[in-house]
Chain A
């Protein structure tokens, strides 16, 4: 095939660009997962409360972020917030959007984990004379964390893959740096296949790390990753 003219030396000569992009993505994901986890804990707490209003608020939050595309959410924050005189940079808007969506998924995961603790264990705790706080600290929390850790680590990997969208509002990440490289050299296919490979390797490495961590700390096999966030 003489018309195929692949020039892989173009991306391979600029691996520093990819490395910089990967570091930016790692920073973005780490920060947004931290904030999102805090949001998720609050949200799970609100969602299991008896107060009707708090439940509706947290449910609306979760339902909105789970049922609308990430791109719409990011555009909404990027274009609508300045009209309220909230001026954030593109990177910070991206961080906010990713934190909010991770918070929504984390709320569901944490709530599911807490509710998955079998009632028998809780009753056993109470029957041993523990008060509510002790039951929570010694029984509910460890067992809930064991149920939460695998889906949560899956979700982190999904957020890594979803973070590629922030380039659309010129938030800096791996795909954005790759597209800048593309606009300079126009070797789109080669550049984007290298980008895909980097994302793939990063996701693989992360999933291996999480697998080993979950096995060691929680003695828990991760469930099959069936769904996707897009």
Chain B
């Protein structure tokens, strides 16, 4: 039986670094695309935007993340050259697209939660659609969306473990391999669970505190 030494810990740290990188990168790009999607889906002027955004969000939210990663990876390889595409890039891209759908729905809900009077007041003051969005609506909407966004951030960290299907070594995969190698599943997987917990629990508490503070009800629970 092999024991846990510095090499095993280093392997798990590599996995953790992969997880964190995937998490941060996909959240960042997912936010950008999500804001655009949210604005598009709540657009009460151009129906096409609303329809396209709604179709995209609905489709992505109806399939499991693993299946989406597989579809994205094989699809990207299909359309690409004969060389294998870099897996971290594909994984981040797919996770970003996935986050964009959920964050888009969250932003749309936030934008539509802003009272209609704000739109009227803005247009009464002479703001165009884009200007009223930028200066009046979105600042208020962001405040409303913060608890749900934090909730999604937690879900995204848990979702980065799905990249095992395209053979990326994240923390979950690394600890599984170490657990099999050292035959100490309780310790190693427990350690991995603790790491995820330590990363997620403060976010959960922060989300609960902000939800209390702003008295904003989330739809369903994360």
A143 within 8 A of B: no
Chain B residues in 8 Å Cβ range of A199? 62-64, 67
B193 within 8 A of A: yes
Q: How far is the CA of A205 from the CA of B158 in the complex (A)?
A: 26
Interface of B is mostly: helix
Q: How far is the CA of A75 from the CA of B171 in the complex (A)?
A: 12
Minimal beta-carbon separation of B89 from chain A (angstroms) = 18
A189 within 8 A of B: yes
A interface footprint on B46-87 (CB within 8 Å = 1, 0 otherwise)? 000000000000010111111110110011001100000000
Q: A108-B221, A189-B71, A203-B62 are in contact. Are A230 and B156 (CB under 8 A)?
A: yes
Q: A68-B197, A189-B71 are in contact. Are A230 and B159 (CB under 8 A)?
A: yes
Contact of B193 among A64, A200, A224 (CB under 8 A): A64
Q: Are A226 and B218 in contact (CB under 8 A)?
A: yes
- Taking CB atoms and an 8 Å cut-off, the chain B residues in 167-222 that contact chain A are 172, 175-176, 179-180, 185-186, 189-190, 192-193, 196-197, 200-201, 204, 218-222
B interface footprint on A208-230 (CB within 8 Å = 1, 0 otherwise)? 00000000000000011111111
Contact of A227 among B179, B201, B218 (CB under 8 A): B218
Stretch at the interface among A10-18, A30-38, A41-49, A162-170: A162-170
Q: How far is the CA of A228 from the CA of B159 in the complex (A)?
A: 10
- Taking CB atoms and an 8 Å cut-off, the chain B residues in 66-115 that contact chain A are 66-68, 70-71, 74-75, 78-79, 102, 105-106, 109
Q: Are B154 and A71 in contact (CB under 8 A)?
A: no
A4 within 8 A of B: yes
Q: Are A75 and B189 in contact (CB under 8 A)?
A: yes
Chain A residues in 8 Å Cβ range of B222? 66, 227-229
Chain B residues in 8 Å Cβ range of A228? 61, 102, 152, 155, 159, 222
Q: How far is the CA of A108 from the CA of B221 in the complex (A)?
A: 8
Nearest CB in chain A to that of B68: its residue: A196
Q: Are B109 and A226 in contact (CB under 8 A)?
A: yes
Contact of B161 among A71, A105, A192 (CB under 8 A): A71
Chain A residues in 8 Å Cβ range of B155? 227-230
Contact of B196 among A69, A79, A188, A225 (CB under 8 A): A69
Minimal beta-carbon separation of B72 from chain A (angstroms) = 9
B136 within 8 A of A: no
Q: Are B221 and A76 in contact (CB under 8 A)?
A: no
Q: Are A189 and B197 in contact (CB under 8 A)?
A: no
B39 within 8 A of A: no
Q: Are B151 and A68 in contact (CB under 8 A)?
A: no
B interface footprint on A64-91 (CB within 8 Å = 1, 0 otherwise)? 1011111111011001100100000000
B122 within 8 A of A: no
Minimal beta-carbon separation of A222 from chain B (angstroms) = 9
Complex A-B: 30 CB contacts under 8 Å:
A63-B197, A63-B204, A64-B193, A67-B154, A69-B196, A71-B161, A71-B162, A71-B164, A75-B175, A75-B189, A76-B186, A83-B186, A151-B220, A154-B219, A161-B63, A161-B64, A188-B74, A189-B75, A189-B78, A193-B75, A199-B63, A199-B64, A203-B62, A203-B63, A224-B105, A224-B219, A225-B220, A227-B102, A227-B219, A230-B162
A interface residues (Cβ-Cβ under 8 A, vs B): 4, 63-64, 66-73, 75-76, 79-80, 83, 105, 108-109, 112, 150-151, 154-155, 161-165, 167-168, 175, 188-189, 192-193, 195-196, 199-200, 203-204, 223-230
B interface residues (Cβ-Cβ under 8 A, vs A): 59, 61-68, 70-71, 74-75, 78-79, 102, 105-106, 109, 148, 151-152, 154-162, 164, 172, 175-176, 179-180, 185-186, 189-190, 192-193, 196-197, 200-201, 204, 218-222
**Seed contacts A63-B204, A226-B105; 13 additional CB < 8 Å A-B pairs:** A63-B201, A64-B193, A67-B197, A69-B172, A71-B162, A72-B172, A109-B220, A162-B64, A192-B71, A199-B63, A227-B148, A227-B218, A229-B155
